[in-house]
Amino acid sequence: MMAENVPLTTIADAVGTPAYVYSSATLKRHYEVFEQGLSGMDSLIAYSVKANSNIAVLAVLAKLGAGADVVSGGELVRALKAGIPANKIVFSGVGKTRDEMRAALEAGIYQFNVESLPELHALNECAVAIKTKARIAFRINPDISAGGHAKISTGKAENKFGIDITTAIDAYAEAAQLPGILVAGIDMHIGSQIVELAPFAAAIDKGLELIKNLRAEGHDISNFDIGGGLGIPYVEDADAPPLPIEYGRMIAEKVQGHNLKMIFEPGRMIAGNAGILLSKVEYVKTGGARKFLIIDAAMNDLIRPALYNAHHDIEPVAQRNSDGITTPCDVVGPVCETGDTFTEQRDLPDMQAGDLLVIHSAGAYGAVQSSQYNTRPLIPEVLVSGDQFKVVRERPKVEDILKTENIPDWV
Ligand SMILES: *Cc1c(COP(=O)(O)O)cnc(C)c1O
């Protein structure tokens, strides 16, 4: 199995396992397919940095003209450093601190997606203090159920995100009074891994209705940010989320004639299937109730199965035989948690200790959610382009981890 033109065995030999491997050609293809789907609309694609924030990944997207959706001051620094211009950056998130707001104002970002009235007032104060204005959209909670899992559904009234659509008119009236605030649009992000168009369509209808009412109140609404959330296939040849072209066409039809700049914040759709987690079978344990493949990757490297019950296709890098015979296996990591399980009772071809395997669709919400639990150092990230590859995040040494810790002299 190859990543572009590089055999995965070559990467495993060079950097060790486990490791994330990303394809720049696939990142590019996903970005371009998304962009083509939006043709005919005045739009900004603000890639959701939290899906995969590696600075090399951001740089690939920056070259294609992408903007960025950031949710922290750290992500803002990354996006700028990767070459994404400030005037293509939007800042989302329910708990922006004043320090983060100041940094974003000083950088001159395009838009703040504001999630509450207290946040609005904090932002106003920060902007006034440095004699500037913050362009804002309120994040509206449209009370729509979407997203493949309760932990990634964000647009229901009981979720922490955004302001209630029923009180939005009042919030805009308040914002319009503030000297440091420039009201420019509305924003929504209803969830992630959404595999049908209907929730997006319903949210857009609600948004357009609100925009009509806001304009009638005299607000100059020019931007409609509809967030991210378009799902991707995690099971090969099985689940088929809408294509970007279908998503784009549906939106274009709805917003046509409304004189809006559309902002999109795709994350998973760009990065998810542009990356794999490359791992190695450490031991095969049989003899009990189940057959376990104990691999060298763990929940601290890829937490999606433990956190969201997520499915990832798993495949050996090289088939041991072509007889098509599979046996039910549990694929588990070495961490001391039962939740450190990538799959249970999955029919997999023969794999032996030392064999390399691939966990697919790991380019989004993989490396970014990793931790050093069990003092397992963060694993390398590798970016491939054609027949070249480069380590774009290095594996820290245990000594590097321990350097940040101190034993007080009074212990
Ligand atoms: C996570 C997130 C996104 C990206 O979602 P995907 O499902 O990865 O496309 C976009 N906007 C906001 C505000 C988010 O929190």
Where do the domains of the chain lie?
92-266, 273-396
User: Which residue numbers in the chain have pLDDT < 70?
Assistant: 147-154, 239
How far is the C-alpha of 183 from the C-alpha of 206, rounded, in Å?
19
72 touches ligand 1 (CB under 6 Å): no
Distance 48 CA to ligand 1 centre (A): 6
Give the up-direction half-sphere exposure of residue 345: CA atoms within 13 A in the CB hemisphere: 1
Measured from the Cβ of residue 382, the count of other Cβ atoms closer than 10 Å reads 26
Give ∠ CA 60-62-67 in degrees, rounded to 5: 135
Whether this model's pTM surpasses 0.85 = yes
Distance 90 CA to ligand 1 centre (A): 12
What is each CA distance from 345 to 38, 303, 304, in whole angstroms? 41, 19, 18
Task: Pick from 50, 230, 361 the residue to mutate for probing ligand 1's pocket: most ligand atoms within 8 Å of its CB.
Answer: 50
Could you give the residue numbers annotated as active site?
336
**CB contact burial 39-52 (16+ within 10 A = b; e otherwise):** eebebbbbbbbbbb
Measured from the Cβ of residue 409, the count of other Cβ atoms closer than 10 Å reads 5
What is each CA distance from 115 to 91, 168, 361, in whole angstroms? 11, 11, 31
- Are 134 and 124 in contact, with CB atoms under 8 Å apart? yes
Task: Pick from 189, 195, 200 the residue to mutate for probing ligand 1's pocket: most ligand atoms within 8 Å of its CB.
Answer: 189
How far is the C-alpha of 129 from the C-alpha of 178, rounded, in Å?
13
DSSP state string for 301-325: T--HHHHH-----EEESS-S-SS--
Q: Which of 6, 17, 2, 22 is nearest to 354 (CA)?
A: 17
pLDDT at 78: 98
Q: Rounded to the nearest 5°, which phi and psi values hold at 71?
A: -125, 15
- Are 206 and 165 in contact, with CB atoms under 8 Å apart? yes
267 touches ligand 1 (CB under 6 Å): yes
46 touches ligand 1 (CB under 6 Å): no
191 touches ligand 1 (CB under 6 Å): no
Block residue for tokens 């600075």: 55
Three-state SS at 358: strand
How far is the C-alpha of 310 from the C-alpha of 406, rounded, in Å?
37
- Are 355 and 386 in contact, with CB atoms under 8 Å apart? no
pLDDT at 161: 82
How far is the C-alpha of 56 from the C-alpha of 16, rounded, in Å?
20
pLDDT at 321: 86
- Are 377 and 404 in contact, with CB atoms under 8 Å apart? no
69 touches ligand 1 (CB under 6 Å): yes
Distance 334 CA to ligand 1 centre (A): 31
111 pairs with which residues across the strands? 90
Q: Rounded to the nearest 5°, which phi and psi values hold at 9?
A: -65, -35
Distance 47 CA to ligand 1 centre (A): 9
Task: Pick from 92, 194, 196 the residue to mutate for probing ligand 1's pocket: most ligand atoms within 8 Å of its CB.
Answer: 92
- Are 210 and 221 in contact, with CB atoms under 8 Å apart? no
Q: Is the dihedral of CA 323, 7, 3, 380 positive or negative?
A: positive
**pLDDT tens digits for 10-36?**
999 999 999 999 999 999 999 999 999
pLDDT at 148: 59
Domain at 273-396: CATH code = 2.40.37.10
Domain at 92-266: CATH code = 3.20.20.10
148 touches ligand 1 (CB under 6 Å): no
Q: Would the CATH topology of 92-266 be identical to that of 273-396?
A: no
Distance 124 CA to ligand 1 centre (A): 25
Q: Amino acid identity, residue 314? A: I
pLDDT at 149: 65
363 touches ligand 1 (CB under 6 Å): no
Block residue for tokens 């949710």: 71
Three-state SS at 293: strand
Give the up-direction half-sphere exposure of residue 208: CA atoms within 13 A in the CB hemisphere: 17
227 touches ligand 1 (CB under 6 Å): yes
Distance 53 CA to ligand 1 centre (A): 13
Atom of ligand 1 nearest to the CA of 231: 7
DSSP state string for 64-75: TT-EEEESSHHH
